C-alpha cells in the first residue's frame, strides 16, 4: 500500500522554516516555555494573512515572523511580545477585531495589538500636526506597556531591511523618519545594535554614493587595522591570561553612519578620524569578585603597558547611563603611535549595551516572567507627556532633543543627585526639583558662586536655586532650557497668561463694536480678525490687548467692504505662497490644479530657455551634482533640497507623500549660487591670489567677498556663481594648493 506524501509549496516551506527558526530562538532564551500560545498566534496570523503578498513577492506572514524573531532574538522579549508581534498587523489589515484577539488569547496581548493598531498611521501621518499627535499617542501607549514601542521599533527595523523593494520617493520618506525618530528612540531605550543598524540603513538609502565610498574605504583599510589590533593585543592578552581572566578581546569598527557624521561635524576626511575602531574587552565574572572591581583590575593591567590619555576616561560602571549602559572606557597610545579607545565590560554589561534592559532577564533564574521585568523601562520618556497641548513640530523636536542627550549628574545643597541631559541649565535644574521652584526662579548658586538662569551645568556641580514670590516665567526662558519638562511647564504658564490677555482683548473688541453700533457676533468678529490678517480669533484678541493692533473708529466701513481679497491674501500667506497683486475683481483667482507626478521614476530637474521646472530651496541651496530630493509645495511647484538638509529631514518625516526622487539634467548653461569658506595664514597678496584664481582660472563671477584677519589667521567667505558641484570641487582643489591656505570647503549660507 502506497504511503501518501504531503506536497508542500516553496512558499509554505519558507514559512515553515522561518517559524521553526523562531521557536528555536525562543527555546534558547530564559523565558517560560509557552510554545503552544506562540504556535496558536502563528496559525491564527498565517490564516488571517493567507494569500497576501508583500511588494517583494514573498508571503505577507514572513513580515510578522521576521518582526517576532527580532523581538525574541535581538531584544530578548518573551511569549507575550512574540505573540503580539505575530498578530501586529491582523486588526489593521484583515477583518478581525481587537475583541477577536482578546477572545482568542488574553487581555494583555489584545491591549498591545490594539496599541500597535492605533499608532500604525502615527509616524506615517500625512500632516505634521497629525503626526505629532499620533507620536504622542505612541508615547502614551508606551507608558502603559513598553512592548508596544519595542515591537514598533522591530517592525521598522524589518521594513528598513527590506526597503530595497520600495520606490525611491518612499525610500526617502521612510529613511528620513527612521533617522529622525526611530533611531534616537532605540538609542534612548538602550538598543544600541538596533539603533546603529537603523542609522546605517537610513544612510544607505539617503546617500548611496557616500555610503558606498566609506564602505570601500573601510574594506581597503581593513588589513592595516587588523595589523594594528594584533600589535596592540599581543602583550595585553598575555597579561590578562596571567591574571587568570576568562575574557575575549575584539576590535569593533565604527558604523558607516557614525564615520560620515563625524566627517561632517568635524569637517575632516576619512583618513583623519583616529577612532574608526575601538577595542572591546568582554570578561566572564569570577565567583565572589565584584564586576566593577574586575573592570578596574583590567584597567590597571592596560595602563601598566600603555600610556593613557587622562581626559578620555569614562566611568559608566560606577554610575550607569539612564538607558542602562555600563562600561569603562579609556583611550591609550598604541604601540604604532595611534590613539586606541578601549571598552571594558562583563558579558552581562555587553548584552545590556546591545539589547537594552531586556538582557537583564538572561541573568535571572531560569523561566522568568516577562511582565514583571518590564517596569524598568517605563520612566525614560514620561516627563515629555506632561505637556498639555504640544505644538506639532516643536513637540517632535523636543522629543528628539531629549532622545539624543547623554546625562550629567548634579547635586542639591543636601547632597541628593539629580540626573539631567547634557547641556542642561540652572533653570532646567529648578524645574527638575519642582515646577513651582522653576516658575519662581530668579537665579542660582553653582558651587557657591552666583550664576544666571541660563548657566549651563556640568557633572558634579552643586546647585542651589534662588526664588522670589514675584517672579513669573518669561517667554525668553524657552531659549535657555533643554529639558522637555521645563519647556512644557514654561509653555503651560505662558499659554495660560496669553489666554488671560486674549480675554481682556476680546472685551476691548466687543466694546469697540458696540460703540460703533455693530452687533458683536462671531461672524463680525471673524471678519475683523481676517481683515487684520489673523487666522484665529484668540491671536487677534491677544494682539489687541498688547496694542499691536489699534482698532480704528470706522469699524462699520471695514465690515461693509468685501473681505474676499483679504481672506484670499491670508490663505495664500498661510500656504507659504509669495504674494501677488490680486486683480481688481473682488473674485479671487481660482487656484490651478496641481500637476500630477509619476513617482515610479525620478523627476528630472531641467532648465530650458532660462526657465526651470523646479525651485531652489533657500535653506540649503543645492546645485547640480548634490544629492537632492524634491518637495511638492502647495502651489504644485517642486522645491529642491539637499538630502542632508535639516528642513528636508522634517519634510520627509512629516509630508512623505509629497517627496520626489530627483536627478539633475545637464546645466552647463545655467548658474547657481554657492558659498566657499576659506581659512589660512594671513599674508600679503593672499586675497589677490584667491580672487585671481576664482575669476581668471575658472572664469567665475564673484558675487560677494568677505575676508577677516585676526592674530595672523584669516577666514573668508566667497559667494560665487557656478554650474555644478564639479566646478566647486575643481575650485577647492586649486585654492587648497595656494601657499598659506589651510582649508577650503563649501558651506550653506
What whole-number distance in Å separates Cα of residue 604 and Cα of residue 599?
Answer: 11
Phi, psi of 394 (to 5 degrees): -60, -40
pLDDT at 6: 58
Active-site residue among 93, 275, 369, 391?
A: 93
Task: Give 10-residue mean pLDDT values along the chain (749 residues).
Answer: 60 85 80 82 87 82 91 83 88 84 86 77 41 52 67 90 83 81 76 89 89 89 87 90 89 88 80 81 86 89 88 84 79 84 88 66 47 42 42 48 60 78 89 90 86 85 87 86 85 86 86 82 78 74 79 72 44 39 34 60 77 80 85 82 81 77 76 85 80 79 81 81 82 84 81
The three grid cell numbers given for residue 313, joined into one nine-digit string: 576616561
The answer to whether 100 is a known catalytic residue is no
The answer to whether 93 is a known catalytic residue is yes
pLDDT at 281: 92
Q: Could you please report the per-residue DSSP string of 16-40? A: HHHHHHHHHHHHTSSB---HHHHHH
Percent helix, strand and coil across the chain, each to the nearest 5: 50, 15, 35
pLDDT at 125: 38
Contact 487, 389 (CB under 8 A): no
What whole-number distance in Å separates Cα of residue 232 and Cα of residue 305?
Answer: 10
Active-site residue among 92, 371, 379, 708?
A: 92
* Domains contained in the chain, CATH given: 10-208 (1.10.3210.10), 221-375 (3.30.460.10), 493-574 (no CATH), 672-747 (3.30.70.260)
What whole-number distance in Å separates Cα of residue 708 and Cα of residue 340?
Answer: 38
What whole-number distance in Å separates Cα of residue 122 and Cα of residue 129?
Answer: 11
pLDDT at 385: 41
Nearest to 578 by CA among 629, 637, 534: 637
What whole-number distance in Å separates Cα of residue 529 and Cα of residue 541?
Answer: 8
Sort strands 417-421 and 407-411 into parallel, antiparallel or unpaired: antiparallel
SS3 222: helix
Amino acid at each position: 500500500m502506497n504511503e501518501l506524501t504531503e506536497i508542500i509549496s516553496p512558499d509554505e516551506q519558507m514559512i515553515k522554516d522561518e517559524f521553526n527558526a523562531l521557536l528555536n530562538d525562543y527555546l534558547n532564551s530564559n523565558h517560560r516555555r509557552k510554545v503552544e500560545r506562540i504556535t496558536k498566534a502563528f496559525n491564527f496570523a498565517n490564516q488571517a494573512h493567507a494569500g497576501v503578498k508583500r511588494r517583494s513577492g514573498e508571503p505577507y506572514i514572513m513580515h510578522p515572523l521576521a518582526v517576532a524573531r527580532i523581538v525574541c532574538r535581538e531584544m530578548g522579549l518573551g511569549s507575550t511580545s512574540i505573540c503580539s508581534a505575530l498578530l501586529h498587523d491582523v486588526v489593521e489589515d484583515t477583518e478581525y477585531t481587537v475583541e477577536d484577539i482578546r477572545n482568542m488569547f488574553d487581555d494583555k496581548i489584545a491591549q498591545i495589538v490594539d496599541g500597535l493598531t492605533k499608532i500604525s498611521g502615527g509616524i506615517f501621518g500625512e500632516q505634521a500636526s497629525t503626526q505629532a499627535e499620533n507620536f504622542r499617542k505612541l508615547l502614551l501607549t508606551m507608558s502603559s506597556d513598553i512592548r508596544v514601542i519595542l515591537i514598533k521599533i522591530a517592525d521598522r527595523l524589518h521594513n528598513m531591511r527590506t526597503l530595497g523593494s520600495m520606490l525611491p520617493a518612499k525610500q526617502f520618506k521612510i529613511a528620513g523618519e527612521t533617522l529622525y525618530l526611530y533611531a534616537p528612540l532605540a538609542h534612548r531605550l538602550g538598543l544600541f545594535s538596533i539603533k546603529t543598524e537603523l542609522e546605517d540603513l537610513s544612510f544607505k538609502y539617503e546617500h548611496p554614493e557616500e555610503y558606498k565610498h566609506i564602505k570601500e574605504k573601510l574594506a581597503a583599510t581593513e588589513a592595516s587595522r587588523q595589523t594594528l589590533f594584533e600589535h596592540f593585543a599581543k602583550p595585553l592578552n598575555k597579561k590578562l591570561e596571567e591574571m587568570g581572566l576568562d575574557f575575549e578581546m575584539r576590535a569593533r569598527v565604527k558604523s558607516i553612519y557614525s564615520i560620515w557624521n563625524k566627517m561632517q561635524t568635524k569637517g575632516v576626511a576619512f583618513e583623519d578620524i583616529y577612532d574608526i575602531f575601538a577595542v572591546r574587552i568582554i570578561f566572564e565574572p569570577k565567583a565572589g569578585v565584584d564586576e566593577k572591581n574586575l573592570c578596574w583590575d583590567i584597567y590597571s593591567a592596560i595602563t601598566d603597558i600603555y600610556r593613557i590619555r587622562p581626559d578620555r576616561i569614562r566611568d559608566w560602571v560606577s554610575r550607569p547611563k539612564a538607558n542602562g549602559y555600563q562600561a569603562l572606557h579609556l583611550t591609550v597610545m598604541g604601540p604604532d603611535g595611534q590613539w586606541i579607545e578601549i571598552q571594558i565590560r562583563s558579558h552581562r554589561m555587553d548584552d545590556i549595551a546591545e539589547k537594552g534592559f531586556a538582557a537583564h532577564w538572561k541573568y535571572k533564574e531560569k523561566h522568568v516572567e516577562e511582565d514583571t521585568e518590564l517596569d524598568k523601562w517605563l520612566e525614560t520618556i514620561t516627563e515629555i507627556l506632561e505637556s498639555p497641548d504640544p505644538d506639532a513640530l516643536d513637540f517632535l523636536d523636543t522629543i528628539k532633543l531629549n532622545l539624543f542627550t547623554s546625562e550629567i549628574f548634579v547635586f542639591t545643597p543636601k547632597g541628593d543627585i539629580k540626573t539631567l541631559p547634557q547641556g542642561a541649565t540652572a533653570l532646567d535644574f529648578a524645574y527638575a526639583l519642582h515646577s513651582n521652584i522653576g516658575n519662581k526662579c530668579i537665579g542660582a548658586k553653582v558651587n557657591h558662586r552666583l550664576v544666571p538662569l541660563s548657566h549651563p551645568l556640568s557633572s558634579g556641580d552643586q546647585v542651589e536655586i534662588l526664588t522670589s514670590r514675584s517672579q513669573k516665567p518669561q517667554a525668553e526662558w524657552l531659549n535657555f532650557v533643554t529639558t522637555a519638562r521645563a519647556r512644557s511647564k514654561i509653555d503651560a504658564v505662558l499659554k495660560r497668561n496669553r489666554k488671560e490677555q486674549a480675554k481682556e482683548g476680546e472685551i476691548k473688541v466687543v466694546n469697540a463694536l458696540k460703540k460703533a453700533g455693530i452687533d458683536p457676533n462671531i461672524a463680525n468678529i471673524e471678519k475683523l480678525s481676517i481683515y487684520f490678517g489673523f487666522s484665529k480669533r484668540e491671536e487677534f484678541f491677544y494682539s489687541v490687548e498688547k496694542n499691536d493692533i489699534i482698532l480704528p473708529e470706522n469699524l462699520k466701513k471695514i465690515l461693509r467692504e468685501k473681505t474676499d481679497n483679504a481672506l484670499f491674501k491670508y490663505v495664500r500667506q498661510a500656504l507659504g505662497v509669495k504674494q501677488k497683486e490680486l486683480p481688481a475683481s473682488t473674485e479671487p483667482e481660482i487656484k490651478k490644479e496641481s500637476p500630477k507626478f509619476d513617482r515610479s521614476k525620478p523627476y528630472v530637474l531641467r532648465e530650458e530657455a532660462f526657465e526651470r521646472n523646479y525651485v531652489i530651496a533657500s535653506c540649503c541651496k543645492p546645485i547640480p551634482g548634490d544629492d537632492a530630493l524634491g518637495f511638492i509645495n502647495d502651489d504644485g511647484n517642486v522645491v529642491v533640497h539637499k538630502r542632508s538638509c535639516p528642513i528636508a529631514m522634517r519634510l520627509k518625516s512629516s509630508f512623505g507623500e509629497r517627496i520626489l526622487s530627483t536627478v539633475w539634467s545637464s546645466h552647463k548653461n545655467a548658474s547657481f549660487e554657492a558659498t566657499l569658506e576659506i581659512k589660512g595664514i594671513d599674508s600679503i597678496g593672499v586675497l589677490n591670489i584667491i580672487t585671481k584664481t576664482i575669476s581668471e582660472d575658472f572664469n567665475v563671477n564673484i558675487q560677494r567677498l568677505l575676508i577677516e584677519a585676526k592674530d595672523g589667521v584669516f577666514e573668508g567667505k566667497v559667494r560665487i556663481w557656478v554650474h555644478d558641484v564639479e566646478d566647486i570641487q575643481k575650485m577647492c582643489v586649486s585654492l587648497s594648493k595656494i601657499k598659506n591656505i589651510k582649508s577650503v570647503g563649501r558651506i550653506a549660507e
